[in-house]
Amino acid sequence: ASKKAEESAMAGFITASGIYDQAMRAAASGDARTTIQALDACNAMAMETWNQHPQRSWGRRCAVLASKVMILQGNNDQAITILGELLAAGPAKDVEMSAQIHMATALENRGSRQDLENAAAGYRRVLELAGDNPDFTPVAAEAMMGLSRVSWAMGDAGGAEEWLGRSLELNPDTTAFIGYSLARLNVR
């Protein structure tokens, strides 16, 4: 029964992830209707799997995926609730890191002073979990980028610049967003 439950949870995650990938392809091609439909389907599949298998690693990964979709759809409160339940259950390190990143993002999106402080704590927790493990360099860079955004939102331009620099040292990125962030910091 345990093996069947794990296989069912894994199948749910694989299906939901595939639907998410379809949504991202549709978004990249400018097909808003298909993107919205696929995100809704992904969220439904991921939540069903999470609700059926909350103690399974694949079920927990579905909770993270569902929260990612909720954040994209602007449902930050719902994402925070689900991620709070997941984090309270004591997930494995990799799932906790992903959940913390998404929780911090949702809190950052809400944007109150307390939310920003909690987001910063979540990003710091990711850095603590990542440690010096090179396998976690991308997620550490993402957490540092989050700390840069939070610092900026809290009026700490120096901290924002420092975290952005540290993030870029770990994961140099030349996207327009990074260029925009650098330009914004230099305008102070």
Pair of tokens at residue 33: 């209707």
Cβ-contact 114, 133 below 8 angstroms: no
The model's pTM is 0.87
Residue 187: the pLDDT is 46
Q: Quote the CA–CA distance of 124 and 15 in Å, as a whole number.
A: 32
* Regions of the chain short of the pLDDT cut 70: 173-188
Is the C-alpha dihedral spanning 106, 176, 138, 148 positive or negative?
Answer: negative
Residue 170: the pLDDT is 86
Question: What DSSP designation does 12 have?
Answer: H
Residue 22: the pLDDT is 96
Apex 98 CA angle, 54 and 70, nearest 5: 70
Place of tokens 């993402």: 142
Residue 40: the pLDDT is 97
